[in-house]
Structures are given as structure tokens and as C-alpha cells.
């Protein structure tokens, strides 16, 4: 069998790698020159890899420099893994495996204790130690039924901004307000450049509204655009798709929803990536105007440096448990860790619980309990009393939420 060689891509190979990735996802078109000028800014030197078979570029994976907020508020440097694809005639020959191993070694070498990604298919990444760590709601709101109650939070102003203005405002605004919940991540410059490509000024349909509080400080924004349809005024229905809505507090969030619900001619607001505990249905006079269409899996997390990642988050007030972690891909992580209210550290004590590193990642941000994962036979429980203690140690005030596609 031919040897797979994995190495960082040269700059001159970025576009070929990007086209390979788009083809692997069955995206119908290649990047236009204009779009590529934006997309290329996502590539950071040394962070994009090629897998070569018989000397030919046949697979690729890259990461953006990012960060991840963990329970307790610490923000860890993180690799946001994306652009993963293998040429259709060269799949199932171990190219992804080689790419993943090279990328995890690179992430460790950079001192980034976590890697994260959104998975095209859920069965691909657990073998490399990634566990599902946050989930989101996909919701629809009927504009004619979904009036906000008189006591829903209100205040400040909403204004539309054009693309160039958004490019100046949004990166700073996002990094100022996207805090206070585990799962929120940092966005690179290249990420923003690509995200804002489809605005009206660039010939796209994407529009942007910004909320500012009573003192005039910007504290929230929403990106939205109409779904493609051949609607007519007499019998048409227009769905407005919300790509993302981030806000500092309930007043800004409710005000942006109120704005969306005031858009003339629109029948439905469809939003992806909403937090599972969003208060919107409680703000509505008729909550049946709101529906959760899907619970999506969102961020998959890989604890690349388990001791560092465990030590970085906070834990609930409870007696300690000792957890044995198995990690076949990065065996330096394998071992037992004592986790208590004061923190986490390696331990030689006999374990109360044993689990694989991808299962630990699912517990890490607080999305699921130890009890549930033990019921799923994903955790070996050696001491039943320890499972409920671990539930209280890993519990978070709010469910984690990412809300950023990449």
C-alpha cells in the first residue's frame, strides 16, 4: 500500500486544498476570486496540513487559532479545526487518521490544551478523542403569532448597519459580549472576513442589525437574510433566516428578537444555533408561535492536554472523585485524576469512575451528566456514590453554548 505523507501546506497550495475540501463536501461551486481573497485569510501559517498519497495532495485539515471559555470563566487557547476533507477516490486509506494525528501533535506543540470542531457526521471524530460538548436549538417563530409580552425586556435602539460598518464594529463587539458562558469561542480575523462576505454590499442578501443600550453602547447584533423563494405578494410566505444572534444581556437579546418580529412581509423567522435555554418562548404572549425544530449537535471538543484542561475549569462544592481517563491516541493523557471543589490533579488513588477521553470531553463543559453517560454504559462506575458526586462537581450554572460555525 502507498505511504501517506502529512506535512504543513505551502501557501501556494492553499487554494488547491480549499477546492479539495469543498469538493469533498459536495459543494456545487468553487470559490470565486473575490470569495477566495477572503477565504485565504483563514489560513494561518503552519496550521493547515496536506496528506499526500504518491506525492499528490489528496486530503487536508486545518485549524484557526481560537479560544474556549470553560466553566468558571477561564478562557483557554484552542484550535478550531475545519477544512477537513479527503479526495473521493482516496477515502478509507487512513488519510484522515494521519491528518488528525499530525494536527493533534501540532496543537499540543502550540500549547493549546483543547481542539474543537463541528462534525459533518457524528461517527467520524470520537475515535480521535472528540466528544460532543455543546448542543443548540434550531427554532422557528411565526411572526403573526409571536408577539412579545408587555413585560418582556425592552430598551435601547436597533439599527441596520452596512457590510463595511459591520466589518469595523462586529469583531470588537463580539469579543466584548461573548463571555460568561462555557462553550463560547474566540473568532479569528480570517473567520470574520469570511463570515461577512455575503452582505448586501458584496452582492449578497445578508443584513446586519446592531443593538445599543440606553447609553448608546453597542451590546448585541444579528445577521439575517431571506430564504431563497419565488414568493409573490398575494400568496407568498417569506422566511427570514437568522445565521447568528449574540447579545450581552436579556434586554439586548429581546430587543433584537422584537426587531426581527417587526420585519414587514416576513411570515417566519428561522434561527439556527440558539442556546437551549434561550428565554424567547417565555417572552411570547403565545408560546405556540415558537417551535424547536431540532436539537443539533454543535461543538465537539478534544481535550488535547487533559491535566491542563481539567485544572483550568472550576468544579461544584462536593467531595472529590478519582476519574481514570483512557486515551489511545494521546497516551500521555491516560491516567487518574482527582477532581474536587479545589481543582483537579493527577492521582495514584484507585479510581471511582473510568472513561474514554471523548466521554470526558462531553462532561467537560457541563452539557451532560455523569449519571446519563453511566446509564449509556459510556462510564464504568466502580463506586456508585461517586457518580452523583461527579454530577455535582461537573454541573454548570447554564448549559454550554457555542453559537459560532467554522
Ligand X SMILES: CC(C)(COP(=O)(O)OP(=O)(O)OC[C@H]1O[C@@H](n2cnc3c(N)ncnc32)[C@H](O)[C@@H]1OP(=O)(O)O)[C@@H](O)C(=O)NCCC(=O)NCCS
Catalytic residues: 125, 406
The whole-angstrom separation of Cα 53 and Cα 85 is 14
The CA-to-CA distance between both ends of the chain, in Å, stands at 34
Q: Which of 40, 124, 243, 250 binds ligand X (CB under 6 A)?
A: 124
Footprint of ligand X on 125-144 (CB under 6 A): 127
Residues linked to residue 80 through DSSP beta bridges, in sequence order: 64, 116
Read off the C-alpha cell for 88.
473521493
Q: Does 92 bind ligand X (CB under 6 A)?
A: yes
- Please, what is the minimum distance in Å from the beta carbon of residue 380 to ligand X? 22
Q: Does 93 bind ligand X (CB under 6 A)?
A: yes
Question: What values do phi and psi take at 90, rounded to 5?
Answer: -130, 20
DSSP state of 205: -
Q: Which stretch binds ligand X (CB under 6 A): 120-128, 161-169, 368-376, 388-396?
A: 120-128
- Please, what is the minimum distance in Å from the beta carbon of residue 379 to ligand X? 22
Distant-in-sequence, close-in-space partners of 181: CB < 8 Å, separation ≥ 6:
69, 275, 398, 400, 401
* Closest to ligand X by CB, 130 or 221: 130
Residue whose C-alpha cell reads 447568528 in the numeric block: 244
Residues linked to residue 346 through DSSP beta bridges, in sequence order: 337
Read off the C-alpha cell for 230.
419565488
Footprint of ligand X on 18-57 (CB under 6 A): 24-25
Q: Which stretch binds ligand X (CB under 6 A): 63-71, 121-129, 328-336, 389-397?
A: 121-129
Footprint of ligand X on 143-182 (CB under 6 A): none
Residues linked to residue 338 through DSSP beta bridges, in sequence order: 322, 345
For residue 375, the SS3 value is helix
How are beta strands 335-340 and 379-381 bridged, if at all? unpaired
- Please, what is the minimum distance in Å from the beta carbon of residue 85 to ligand X? 4
- Please, what is the minimum distance in Å from the beta carbon of residue 263 to ligand X? 33
- Please, what is the minimum distance in Å from the beta carbon of residue 306 to ligand X? 21
Q: Does 121 bind ligand X (CB under 6 A)?
A: yes
* Closest to ligand X by CB, 128 or 337: 128
Read off the C-alpha cell for 56.
499528490
* Closest to ligand X by CB, 22 or 279: 22
Q: Does 123 bind ligand X (CB under 6 A)?
A: yes
Task: Say if residue 222 is exposed, middle or buried (CB neighbours under 10 Å; 0-12, 13-18, 19+).
Answer: buried
Footprint of ligand X on 186-225 (CB under 6 A): none
Q: Does 3 bind ligand X (CB under 6 A)?
A: no
CA dihedral 104, 107, 108, 112 (to 10 degrees): -130
Q: Does 228 bind ligand X (CB under 6 A)?
A: no
343 CB neighbour count, 10 Å cutoff: 15
Question: What values do phi and psi take at 81, rounded to 5?
Answer: -80, 135
Cα angle 237-243-248, degrees, rounded to a multiple of 5: 120
Sheet hosting strand 353-356, strand order edge to edge: 343-346, 335-340, 321-326, 353-356, 379-381
Number of residues this chain uses to bind ligand X (CB under 6 A): 19
Q: Which stretch binds ligand X (CB under 6 A): 78-86, 160-168, 231-239, 381-389?
A: 78-86
- Please, what is the minimum distance in Å from the beta carbon of residue 293 to ligand X? 22
* Closest to ligand X by CB, 42 or 211: 42
- Please, what is the minimum distance in Å from the beta carbon of residue 268 to ligand X? 29
* Closest to ligand X by CB, 120 or 175: 120
Q: Does 84 bind ligand X (CB under 6 A)?
A: yes
DSSP state of 46: T
Q: Does 120 bind ligand X (CB under 6 A)?
A: yes
Footprint of ligand X on 96-115 (CB under 6 A): 96-97
Residues that bind ligand X (CB under 6 A): 24-25, 59, 84-86, 91-97, 119-121, 123-124, 127
Amino acid at each position: 500500500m502507498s505511504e501517506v505523507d502529512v506535512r504543513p501546506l505551502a501557501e501556494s497550495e492553499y487554494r488547491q486544498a480549499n477546492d479539495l475540501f469543498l469538493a469533498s463536501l459536495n459543494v456545487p461551486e468553487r470559490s470565486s476570486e473575490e470569495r477566495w481573497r477572503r477565504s485565504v485569510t483563514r489560513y494561518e501559517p503552519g496550521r493547515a496540513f496536506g496528506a499526500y498519497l504518491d506525492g499528490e495532495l489528496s486530503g487536508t485539515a486545518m485549524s484557526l487559532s481560537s479560544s474556549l471559555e470553560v466553566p468558571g470563566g477561564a478562557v483557554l487557547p484552542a484550535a478550531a479545526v475545519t477544512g477537513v476533507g479527503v479526495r473521493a477516490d482516496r477515502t478509507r486509506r487512513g488519510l484522515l487518521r494521519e491528518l488528525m494525528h499530525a494536527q493533534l501533535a501540532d496543537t499540543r506543540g502550540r500549547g493549546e490544551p483543547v481542539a474543537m470542531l463541528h462534525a459533518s457526521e457524528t461517527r467520524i471524530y470520537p475515535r480521535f478523542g472528540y466528544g460532543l460538548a455543546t448542543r443548540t436549538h434550531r427554532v422557528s417563530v411565526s411572526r403573526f403569532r409571536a408577539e412579545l409580552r408587555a413585560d418582556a425586556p425592552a430598551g435601547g435602539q436597533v439599527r441596520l448597519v452596512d457590510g463595511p460598518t459591520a466589518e469595523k464594529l462586529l469583531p470588537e463587539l463580539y469579543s466584548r459580549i461573548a463571555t460568561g458562558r462555557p462553550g463560547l469561542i474566540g473568532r479569528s480575523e480570517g473567520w470574520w472576513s469570511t463570515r461577512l462576505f455575503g452582505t448586501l454590499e458584496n452582492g449578497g442578501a445578508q443584513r446586519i442589525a446592531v443593538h445599543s443600550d440606553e447609553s448608546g453602547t453597542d451590546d448585541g447584533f444579528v445577521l439575517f437574510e431571506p430564504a431563497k423563494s419565488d414568493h409573490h405578494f398575494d400568496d407568498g410566505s417569506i422566511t427570514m433566516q437568522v445565521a447568528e444572534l449574540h447579545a450581552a444581556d436579556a434586554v439586548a437579546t429581546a430587543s433584537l428578537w422584537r426587531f426581527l418580529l417587526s420585519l414587514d412581509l416576513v411570515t417566519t423567522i428561522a434561527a439556527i444555533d440558539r442556546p437551549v435555554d434561550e428565554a424567547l418562548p417565555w417572552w411570547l404572549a403565545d408560546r405556540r408561535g415558537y417551535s424547536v425544530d431540532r436539537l443539533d449537535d454543535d461543538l465537539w471538543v478534544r481535550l488535547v492536554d487533559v491535566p491542563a484542561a481539567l485544572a483550568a475549569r472550576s468544579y461544584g462544592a462536593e467531595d472529590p472523585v478519582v476519574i481514570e481517563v483512557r486515551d489511545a491516541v494521546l497516551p500521555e493523557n491516560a491516567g487518574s485524576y482527582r477532581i474536587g471543589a479545589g481543582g483537579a490533579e493527577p492521582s495514584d488513588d484507585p479510581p471511582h469512575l473510568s472513561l474514554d477521553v471523548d466521554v470526558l470531553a462531553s462532561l467537560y463543559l457541563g452539557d451532560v451528566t455523569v449519571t446519563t453517560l453511566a446509564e449509556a454504559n459510556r462510564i464504568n462506575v466502580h463506586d456508585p456514590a461517586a457518580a452523583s458526586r461527579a454530577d455535582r462537581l461537573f454541573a454548570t450554572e447554564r448549559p454550554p453554548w457555542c453559537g459560532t460555525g467554522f
